[in-house]
């Protein structure tokens, strides 16, 4: 049950991050999705699609991780630390994407 709670809380955090960012940047039609090493934007996506990518990807990956940990746990191995680490990485990656998007949009004016 703890595994499912972690997955649900992580997805809720990602969705709240996206919704709050969407409310702040309503006037922006497209968000950067990839940057070159020089800091130039390589490609963009429509704002809502860009904000949905990480939560949807996290939902897929965390569902597979949670399901596999509940269906076929290996003897003596607790999958909880891996699920926690995966959840943390998704939240950090999404926060980094939103931060870099803000920085790019603020610089562009």
In the predicted structure, residue 14 carries a pLDDT above the cut 70: yes
Task: Look at residue 71 in the predicted model and tell me its pLDDT.
Answer: 78
**Do 13 and 5 touch, CB atoms closer than 8 A?**
no
Whether the predicted model's global pTM rises above the 0.85 cut: yes
Q: What is the pLDDT of residues 97-109, one digit of tens each?
A: 999 999 999 887 6
Range of the domain at 47: 2-108
Helix 47-71 vs helix 2-24: angle between axes, to the nearest 10 degrees? 180
Task: Look at residue 68 in the predicted model and tell me its pLDDT.
Answer: 84
Total domains in the chain come to: 1
The DSSP line for 29-74 is: SEEEEEE-TTS-EEEEEEHHHHHHHHHHHHHHHHHHHHHHHHHSPP
Q: What are phi and psi of 78, to 5 degrees?
A: -100, 120
pLDDT category at 76 given cuts 50, 70, 90 is: low
């Amino acid at each position: 049950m703890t595994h499912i709670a972690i997955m649900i809380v992580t997805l809720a955090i990602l969705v709240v991050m996206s919704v709050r960012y969407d409310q702040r940047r309503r006037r922006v039609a497209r968000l950067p999705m990839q940057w070159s090493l020089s800091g130039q934007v390589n490609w963009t996506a429509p704002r809502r699609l860009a904000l949905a990518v990480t939560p949807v990807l996290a939902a897929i990956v965390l569902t597979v991780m949670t399901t596999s940990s509940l269906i076929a746990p290996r003897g003596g191995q607790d999958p909880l630390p891996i699920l926690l680490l995966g959840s943390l990485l998704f939240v950090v990656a999404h926060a980094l994407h939103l931060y870099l998007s803000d920085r790019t949009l603020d610089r562009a004016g």
